[in-house]
A and B are shown apart, each in its own frame.
Chain A
Amino acid sequence: MRPLTLRRLLWTCGSLAVLLLASVVLALKLGAVPISVTDLLLDLGRIAIGRANELPTEYRLIVFDLRLPRILLGILVGAALSVAGASFQALLRNPLADPYVLGVSSGAALGSILALLIAPGFALVTPLGAFLGAIATIAGVYFLGRREGQLDSATLLLGGIISASFFSAIIMFLLTTLSGRDLRGMVFWLMGDLSTPVSAGTQWIFTVGLVAGIGAIYSTSADLNLLLTGEREAIHLGVDVTRVKLVVYVSASLLTALAVSASGAIGYVGLLVPHAVRLIFGSDYRLLIPASALCGAIAIVLADTLARTIVPPTELPVGAMTAMAGAPVFIYLLRRGLR
């Protein structure tokens, strides 16, 4: 018996936070303009004590106005997608569930595009449209995956993958026929990309949404542990299954929507990261949720750094990197047997 203790939880999250900080420093350093780590740490220190104006202008522009916001956005997106993936895996009792594989990301992307077409001037239109798209998709895929009142693992995944490709086709159609409007590119919506900057205001809203979403899911993490052993069992062990499912579906859709409206449909993060976390730290959701959030952030920061630097001066979309790593893992998990 090795029950989770608060001490182990804090230690694990603390170590992962240090790792995240290290990957942020690495991501700040690497790029077209080389910068030494010592300078970087000194400058970060200067910013921390409020003496940012002492830094050289050009350098500050590259590192702190271009690279840092992109890294922060990557942290938000990575954390959101990983926690959403881990949540869907528990609710659907399927280790292959992930916002991208289930079509929720594509649904959110389509929702954003439609919302942008209907009400282009409204400030929060992208995340709102994405949220509605995500909720509608997960409801639809859940419905598709039911057979005789039971959730069938293979049918569910098939339903998700079919939905994803259907939505992608509509997105392509819309973007091709409606060229000239400010809808961002196809690569952004279909592959995911962190190069489009978001305004400081939007970034704040995303942060608040992320904390609220992860917080809501975390409050049910003990219940999710029991849901994994089956819905019936969970009810008989004292879990209010209807409430937990509602909270987690809505929150996970919100997280997916935030990520997609900021960075498009980045795939496989929600699959890869919780899987790796489970292998290392076990599958207790009280640890899995925060550890997935931190590891997801690390994964996206590193993947985006790689995407920026692998073939200079060209930048790859970060979604290409995650798909290259994620698709083989998906196939491995699928071959190992759907249970």
Chain B
Amino acid sequence: MSAPDTFAQTAGGREDRAHREQGVRLNVEQASYAYSPSEQSAPTFTLGATSFQAREREIVAILGPNASGKSTLLRLITGTIAPLSGRVELDGEETSRLDVRMRAQRIAVVHQESPIVYPALAGDFVLQGRFPYGRALRFANPEDIEIARNALAQVGAEHLSKRTIGELSGGEKQRVILARALAQQPRLILLDEPTLHLDIGAQVELLERLRQLAKENRYTVVVVTHELGLAAEFADQVVLLQHGRCLRVGPPATVYQKELLEQVFDAPLDVELGPAGRPRVNLRARRGEDIT
């Protein structure tokens, strides 16, 4: 598709789309992507057309086994890569076209914890979230410090501000990283496998906190995970991926079907409906005994 073509379609389509989808903050529409080692060779991985929408205060879980395309979809949403076809929009703007600082003011990404090379105080680390708003040497002004302090308070980590990152526990570190994302004052928070290194108590705490933050601060939250149980418990919507294809989008109750999940995750399991209308997943050993 040539560039003028795309423009014409975008300009024509935008107004009635905006009208039709009021309240939609994140709009992923038939977005696809292909990785190839070089321009001539065939792609080594493709993500087929994927669509879903998310409003403010909503939590979306992107769910799938390894190599299902979760990270690719995450990168499409953050705008670090542009979709091959389709579009990814945040409040009507294509995320891949925003400049890097603008993007950081709207989208915060929390990665799996990455090693810290030099010791930094947790408070200074959170202050880094103010970077996209500063100019030149970015000396922090009192407002920035106030925002960073509030961010730490929102994740219940004020007391950690004078500790160095290296001496924090996994759960504490995850909270500080989340606080840095909050300090960016984004509209959209993306989390990549946030529960990977956390014990079960810290996992539940993190997700409860996310749900509360999404409600209070009107964030849209997208969580990439392979934790079936946690996604069922906390997500408003689930996007189920396998081998680069988007299989199902919808609330957990409709996506969580025994045969579908067994096939996607290649494990025998049972799905039952919990008291709050949310599905519960139980793993079974192949011999048929319950192991959870």
Which A residues fall within an 8 A CB radius of B? 1-6, 93-95, 219, 221-222, 225-226, 228-230, 232-233, 235-240, 278, 283-284, 286, 339
Contacts of B121 in A (CB 8 A): 1-2
List B59-116 residues whose CB lies under 8 Å from chain A.
78, 80, 100-101, 103-105, 107-109, 111, 114-116
8 Å CB contact of A278 from B109, B118, B145, B149: B118
- A1-B119 in contact given A235-B80, A238-B104, A238-B132 (Cβ < 8 Å): no
Interface residue total, chain B, C-beta cutoff 8 A: 41
Known: A4-B139, A222-B131. A229 touches B114 (CB 8 A): yes
Are A222 and B104 touching (Cβ within 8 A)? no
Alpha-carbon separation in the docked complex, A233 to B118 (Å): 15
Q: Give the chain A neighbours of B104 by CB distance below 8 A.
A: 236-238
Residues in B lying within 8 Å of A, measured CB to CB: 78, 80, 100-101, 103-105, 107-109, 111, 114-121, 123-129, 131-132, 134, 136-140, 144-145, 148-149, 161-162, 184
Q: A1-B149, A236-B78 are in contact. Are A93 and B108 (CB under 8 A)?
A: no
With the chains together, A106 CA to B162 CA distance in Å?
Answer: 42
Using CB atoms, name the residue of chain B closest to A240: B100
Cβ B140 vs Cβ A3 within 8 A: yes
Find out whether the CB atom of B120 lies under 8 angstroms from the CB atom of A283. yes
Tell me the complex Cα distance, A261–B161, Å. Answer: 46
Most buried by B among A3, A5, A222, A238: A238
Contact B127–A1 (Cβ < 8 Å): yes
| Chain A residues with CB under 8 A of B109 | 232-233, 236
Tell me, in angstroms, the Cα distance from A328 to B120 when the chains sit together. 25
Given A2-B123, A3-B124: A222 touches B117 (CB 8 Å cut-off): no
Look across to chain A and name the residue whose beta carbon is closest to the beta carbon of B152: A1
Taking A95-B117, A238-B104 as given, write out 5 further A-B residue pairs in contact, using a Cβ cutoff of 8 Å, ordered by the A residue number: A226-B128, A229-B128, A232-B114, A233-B109, A238-B100
Contacts of A233 in B (CB 8 A): 109, 111, 114
- B186 to A: closest C-beta gap in Å: 10
Bound complex: CA of A93 vs CA of B117, how far in Å? Answer: 6
Bound CA–CA A233/B181 (angstroms):
10
* Residue pair B123, A1 in contact (C-beta under 8 Å): yes
Q: Could you tell me the distance in whole angstroms from the C-beta of B137 to the nearest C-beta in chain A? A: 5
Contact B148 A232 (CB under 8 A): no
**23 A–B contacts, CB within 8 A, in A order:** A1-B126, A1-B161, A2-B124, A3-B127, A3-B140, A3-B145, A94-B117, A230-B114, A232-B109, A233-B109, A235-B80, A235-B100, A236-B107, A236-B109, A237-B104, A237-B132, A238-B101, A238-B103, A239-B100, A240-B100, A283-B118, A283-B120, A286-B139
Name B149's closest neighbour in chain A (CB-CB). A1
Return chain A residues, CB-CB under 8 Å to B148: 1
Q: Is the CB of A238 within 8 A of B139?
A: no
Q: In the docked arrangement, what's the CA distance between A234 and B99, Å? A: 14
Q: Are B80 and A5 touching (Cβ within 8 A)?
A: no
CB closest chain-B residue, reference A284: B124
Cross-chain contact of A225 among B80, B119, B128, B162 (Cβ < 8 A): B128
Closest Cβ–Cβ distance, residue A131 to chain B (whole Å):
27
Q: Which residues of A contact B103 (CB under 8 A)?
A: 236, 238
With CB as the reference atom, state the residue of chain B lying closest to A219.
B136
Contact B118 A237 (CB under 8 A): no
A5, A225, A229 — most chain B CB neighbours (10 Å): A229
- Contact in complex: A5, B116 (CB < 8 Å): no
State whether B145 touches A237 (Cβ < 8 A).
no
Chain B residues in 8 Å Cβ range of A230: 111, 114
In Å, the complex CA distance between A300 and B211 comes to 56
Please tell me if the beta carbons of A222 and B119 are within 8 angstroms of each other in the complex: no
B117 and A339 contacting across the interface, CB-CB below 8 Å = yes
**What residues on B are CB-neighbors of A235 within 8 Å?**
80, 100
- What residues of chain A lie closer than 8 Å to B107, measured between beta carbons? 236
B137 near A221 with CB under 8 A, answer yes
Q: Which 6 interchain pairs have the tightest Cβ spacing?
A: A1-B123, A238-B104, A238-B132, A238-B101, A3-B140, A283-B118
Q: Are A222 and B134 in contact (CB under 8 A)?
A: yes
Known: A228-B117, A228-B118. A238 touches B105 (CB 8 A): yes
**A222 CA to B101 CA in the complex, in Å?**
13
Chain A residues, Cβ within 8 Å of B115: 339
Q: B131 contacts which chain A residues (CB < 8 A)? A: 222, 226, 237-239
A3 in contact with B100 given A233-B111, A339-B117 (CB within 8 Å)? no
- How long is the Cα–Cα vector from A238 to B162 in the complex, in angstroms? 25
A229 close to B138 (CB less than 8 A): no
Residues of B within 8 A of A278 (CB): 118
B111 to chain A, nearest CB (A): 6
Contacting residues, chain A, for B101 (C-beta < 8 A): 238
| Contact status B117-A236, CB under 8 Å | no
Q: How far is the CA of A221 from the CA of B131 in the complex (A)?
A: 12
- The CA of A161 and the CA of B12, in the complex, are separated in Å by 59
Contact B139 A6 (CB under 8 A): yes
Distance to closest chain B CB from A8 (angstroms): 10
Most buried by A among B107, B115, B117: B117
Query: Are A95 and B100 in touch, CB under 8 angstroms?
Result: no
Verify B162–A1 contact, CB threshold 8 A: yes
Which residues from chain A contact B132 at a C-beta distance below 8 Å? 237-238
Give the CA-CA distance A5 to B120 in the complex, in Å. Answer: 16
**In the complex, A221→B103 CA distance in Å?**
21
- Chain A residues lying within 8 Å of B120, measured Cβ to Cβ, are 229, 283
- In whole Å, how far is B97's beta carbon from the nearest beta carbon of chain A? 15
Residues of B within 8 A of A239 (CB): 100, 131
Which residue of chain B is the closest to A8 with respect to CB atoms? B139
Which partner residue on chain B sits nearest A94 by CB separation? B117
